[in-house]
Amino acid sequence: RRLLGSVMKSAKSSGLVDTRSQWLYIISNAKNSSSNVEFTRRLLKEGDNVAFIYNTSKRSNDCVGGQMCQIKEVLTAFSLALDQAIQEEYEAASQIAEEEWEAIRPTKLERRDFLLKIIKTH
């Protein structure tokens, strides 16, 4: 809480917080989720573009909403998506000549979009 307040005060006093700038503060371990950032209201004025992301995860045995559970779910979804992408690309590449594959293979952007689509459906 002190560090966040110090950073915010320094940024404001340096003239870095106004309608032309955007600030995103990420608070990774908020114990009292909403009360941890309530004090920042006093530091902000109308037009300050400031956003907060804070972790409100709670540990539990069933892994609903826990930080480790979220990490596991994201990694599992990414692994499955990558596996599917590799399999589909391998199948396509094995049916044509290497030179043809080089010409039609997915770009990095296409692969990224494919992976994100699969992750979102997981």
Across 2-12, average pLDDT: 84
**58 residue type, one letter:** K
Better pLDDT: 5 or 87: 87
My answer on whether 47 and 80 are in the same domain is no
* Per-residue pLDDT, 87: 95
Rounded to 5 degrees, φ, ψ at 67 are -60, -45
My answer on whether 47 and 90 are in the same domain is no
Measured between alpha carbons, how far is 98 from 112 in angstroms, rounded to an integer? Answer: 22
8 domain-assigned: yes
Range of the domain at 37: 2-54
Q: What is the number of other CB atoms lying within 10 angstroms of the CB of residue 17?
A: 22
What b/e readout covers 43-63, taking b as 16+ CB neighbours within 10 angstroms? eeeeebebeeebeebeeeeee
Alpha-carbon separation of residue 73 from 21, 30, 59, 86, 118 (angstroms): 34, 21, 15, 20, 13
Measured between alpha carbons, how far is 19 from 46 in angstroms, rounded to an integer? Answer: 9
Q: Which pLDDT band, with edges at 50, 70 and 90, does 63 fall under?
A: low
My answer on whether 46 and 81 are in the same domain is no
My answer on whether 40 and 83 are in the same domain is no
* Per-residue pLDDT, 65: 61
pLDDT tens for 12-62 read 888 888 888 888 887 776 555 445 567 777 788 887 888 887 766 666 666
Chain mean pLDDT for the chain: 81
* Per-residue pLDDT, 121: 86
State yes or no: pLDDT of 97 exceeds 80. yes
Measured between alpha carbons, how far is 116 from 11 in angstroms, rounded to an integer? Answer: 35
Structurally, the chain folds into a number of domains equal to: 2
* Per-residue pLDDT, 33: 47
